[in-house]
Amino acid sequence: MADAEPPPLAIITGGTSGIGLAVASRLMEDGYDVIVTGRNEERGAQAINQLRSCHENQNAAFLALQSTSWSDYGKLAEMVRGRQVHAVVASAAFGLQAHVTDTDPATFLEIMSVNVAAPLYLVEVLRPRLANPSSVVLISSDAGIDGEQALGAYSVSKAALNMLGRMMALDLAPQVRVNVVCPGDTVPGMRYLLRPGESERAADDYLGWTLPPRQRLGTARDTAELVAFLVSPRSDFMVGSVTVIDGGSRAGRPDVMHPPDGKHS
Give the rounded distance of the alpha carbon of 68 from its chain centre: 16
- Member of 25, 58, 67, 135 binding ligand NAP (CB under 6 A): 67
239: buried, middle or exposed (CB in 10 Å: 19+, 13-18, 0-12)?
middle
- 3-state class of 85 per DSSP? strand
User: Please, which residue, 201 or 258, has the CB nearer to ligand NAP?
Assistant: 201
The interface mask with ligand NAP, positions 107-146, x = CB under 6 A, is -------x------------------------x-x-----
Residues binding ligand NAP: number (CB under 6 A):
28
With contacts defined by CB under 6 A, name the span among 2-10, 65-73, 76-84, 237-245 that binds ligand NAP: 65-73
CB of 243 to ligand NAP, least distance (A): 12
Residue nearest to ligand NAP (CB): 18
User: Please, which residue, 169 or 180, has the CB nearer to ligand NAP?
Assistant: 180
Beta strands in 51-207 (DSSP E): 60-64, 85-90, 95-96, 130-139, 176-183, 193-194
- Member of 8, 10, 20, 135 binding ligand NAP (CB under 6 A): 20
**Backbone angle region of 46, left / alpha / beta, with phi > 0 → left and psi within -120 to 50 → alpha:** alpha
Binding of ligand NAP by 40 (CB under 6 A): yes
Nearest to 17 by CA among 245, 200, 162, 208: 200
CB of 187 to ligand NAP, least distance (A): 7
Contacts of 194 (CB under 8 A, 6+ apart): 94, 95, 96, 97, 200, 201
Helix pair 152-172, 105-112: axis angle to 10 deg: 30
Q: How far apart are CA 147 and CA 152, in angstroms?
A: 7
- Member of 190, 226, 230, 242 binding ligand NAP (CB under 6 A): 190
CB of 262 to ligand NAP, least distance (A): 32
Q: Give residues 139-158 in contact with ligand NAP (rule: CB under 6 A).
A: 139, 141
Cis peptide before 174 (omega within 30 of 0): yes
Binding of ligand NAP by 98 (CB under 6 A): no
CB of 142 to ligand NAP, least distance (A): 6
Strand partners of residue 176: 134
- Member of 9, 11, 17, 162 binding ligand NAP (CB under 6 A): 17
User: Please, which residue, 131 or 194, has the CB nearer to ligand NAP?
Assistant: 194
- Sequence length of the chain is 265
Q: How far apart are CA 103 and CA 94, in angstroms?
A: 14
Chain residues that interact with ligand NAP, rule: CB under 6 A? 14, 16-20, 38-40, 43, 65-67, 91-94, 114, 139, 141, 183, 185-186, 189-192, 220
